[in-house]
């Protein structure tokens, strides 16, 4: 009866079963997988949500790409970051996940594929399959720093490939695209008639400002390009459900893309009016949350770097930006067994590398969002357990 887009048999893995067991027994543990900014003790301005109560929110003026005032506010936010983006190229969405779905509908027929980075955000496969699209991996490689395997990506491109997805900076490796990589990917997309989708939800969380990075895929204009962002990560407000995409590239491609996107967006009209009406104030007044998150992830990353030398078998992979850190740990036992020990003996939950499709073991992924006292206590236990296993 049901579509194959949704898997019918998702067996609980040992880790999720162990977490469920502890939760039902009300055993507390430190959660270093926490990536929900509303749960980590940030101070949200008390009056922030007053912006949602403006009387204008009682009117309904359906606009496929969103209200002009809200899109102007997004354009203004790009100006703050030193980028010129015209309102006509901005499309509001309910979230980045929805933006992916709209783009897959725009670009792909059922059975087509999109190239996605590995290791990266684990949701790509689900997002693609919900739109009857295949996610084909291309690899990020680590040689002291992360780089895109551009040759591998070229080889992975098929006659059914419609887009290349980049995450800049990537989750969880924290690697920004380098200029030469962006140029190579854009040239490949242009030559093969592919779109370039840049997920830049973490772009403002720079952890190491010394390292070279490209702040946006929008800095090139060769290929049909979509830059994705939103309030979820940009202001730590995932519950408000407002994201955006910026359409860029040669006019001959952006024009038909925008015409078709308008039809798709007009079919759903998924962004609520109050959040659009409130957007200028949210962007202005919510910036203190972004600053707190930036301070938090930077502080926790530095604390991890400072603590790690006490455990010489563990290395903290260099992270240039984002909300995560990656530890390489001795592969004397499986990631799963180490993670279960951490949970059951040390009362710390971390993500295994396999969750993000690291090509080999053993890696652990730590969220840098938790409160400093939680982070320091839990990270010390992770380092000690991994060292003891060496």
Provide the minimum distance between the beta carbon of 22 and ligand PLP in the complex, in angstroms, as a whole number. 23
Which range binds ligand PLP by CB under 6 A, 95-103, 189-197, 251-259, 337-345? 95-103
Q: Is 216 in the site for ligand PLP (CB under 6 A)?
A: no
> To the nearest 10°, the Cα dihedral for 214, 199, 315, 336?
-170
| Choice from 174, 230, 321, 370 touching ligand PLP (CB under 6 A) | 230
Residue 95 touches ligand PLP, criterion: CB under 6 A: yes
β-pairing verdict for 315-316 and 324-328:
antiparallel
Among 174, 238, 352, 370, binds ligand PLP (CB under 6 A): 238
Sign of CA dihedral 216, 217, 221, 225: negative
- Among 96, 168, 215, 225, which residue interacts with ligand PLP (rule: CB under 6 A)? 96
Q: How many helices (H) and strands (E) does the chain have?
A: 12, 14
62 Cα distance to chain centroid: 29
Compute the distance between CA of residue 253 and CA of residue 271 in angstroms, rounded to an integer. Answer: 25
Q: Is residue 121 close enough to count as binding ligand PLP by CB under 6 A?
A: yes
Candidates 97, 154, 219, 341: give the one binding ligand PLP (CB under 6 A): 97
Kindly state whether residue 232 participates in binding ligand PLP, applying the rule CB under 6 A.
yes
Q: Build a one-symbol-per-residue string for 157-196: x at contacts with ligand PLP by CB under 6 A, - elsewhere.
A: ----------x---x-------------------------
Range list of β-strands (E), 180-298: 195-199, 225-230, 243-248
From candidates 37, 137, 198, 243, binder to ligand PLP by CB under 6 A: 243
Binding window for ligand PLP (CB under 6 A); candidates: 17-25, 68-76, 92-100, 219-227: 92-100
| Cα distance between residue 147 and residue 144, in whole Å | 9
With tokens 């980590």, the residue in question is 40
CB of 227 to ligand PLP, least distance (A): 12
Q: Is the dihedral of CA 25, 29, 35, 41 positive or negative?
A: positive
Nearest distance in Å: CB 98, ligand PLP: 7
Do residues 176 and 194 make contact, with C-beta atoms less than 8 angstroms apart? no
- How many CB atoms sit inside 10 A of residue 352's CB? 22
Residues that bind ligand PLP (CB under 6 A): 35, 95-97, 121, 167, 171, 199, 201, 230, 232, 238, 243
């Amino acid at each position: 009866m049901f579509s194959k887009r949704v898997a019918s048999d998702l067996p609980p893995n040992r880790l999720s079963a162990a977490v469920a067991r502890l939760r039902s027994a009300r055993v507390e543990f430190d959660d270093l997988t926490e990536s929900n900014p509303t749960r980590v003790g940030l101070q949200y301005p008390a009056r922030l949500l007053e912006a949602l109560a403006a009387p204008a929110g009682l009117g309904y003026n359906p606009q496929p790409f969103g209200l002009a005032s809200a899109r102007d506010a997004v354009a203004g936010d790009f100006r703050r970051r030193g980028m010129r983006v015209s309102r006509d190229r901005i499309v509001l969405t309910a979230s980045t996940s929805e933006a992916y779905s709209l783009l897959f509908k725009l670009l792909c027929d059922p059975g087509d594929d999109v190239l996605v980075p590995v290791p990266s955000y684990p949701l790509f496969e689900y997002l693609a399959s919900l739109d009857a699209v295949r996610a084909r991996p291309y690899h990020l490689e680590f040689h002291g720093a992360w780089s895109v395997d551009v040759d591998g990506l070229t080889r992975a491109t098929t006659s059914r490939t419609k887009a290349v997805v980049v995450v800049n900076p990537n989750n969880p490796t924290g690697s920004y695209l380098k200029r030469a990589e962006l140029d190579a990917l854009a040239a490949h997309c242009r030559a093969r008639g592919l779109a370039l989708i840049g997920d830049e939800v973490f772009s403002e969380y720079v952890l190491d400002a010394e390292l070279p990075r490209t702040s946006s895929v929008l800095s090139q204009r060769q290929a049909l390009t979509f830059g994705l962002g939103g309030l979820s990560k940009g202001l730590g407000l995932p519950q408000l459900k407002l994201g955006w995409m910026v359409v860029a590239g040669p006019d001959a491609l952006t024009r038909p893309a925008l015409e078709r996107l308008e039809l798709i967006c007009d079919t759903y009209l998924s962004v609520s009016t109050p959040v659009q009406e409130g957007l200028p104030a949210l962007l202005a007044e919510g910036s203190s949350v972004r600053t707190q998150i930036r301070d938090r992830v930077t502080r926790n990353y530095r604390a991890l770097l400072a603590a790690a030398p006490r455990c010489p078998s563990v290395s903290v992979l260099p992270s240039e930006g984002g909300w995560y850190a990656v530890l390489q740990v001795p592969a004397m036992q499986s990631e799963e067994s180490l993670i279960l020990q951490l949970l059951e003996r040390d009362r710390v939950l971390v993500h295994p590398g396999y969750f993000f499709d690291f090509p080999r073991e053993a890696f652990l992924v730590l969220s840098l969002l938790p409160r400093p006292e939680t982070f320091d206590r839990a990270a010390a236990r992770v380092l000690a357990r991994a060292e003891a296993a060496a």
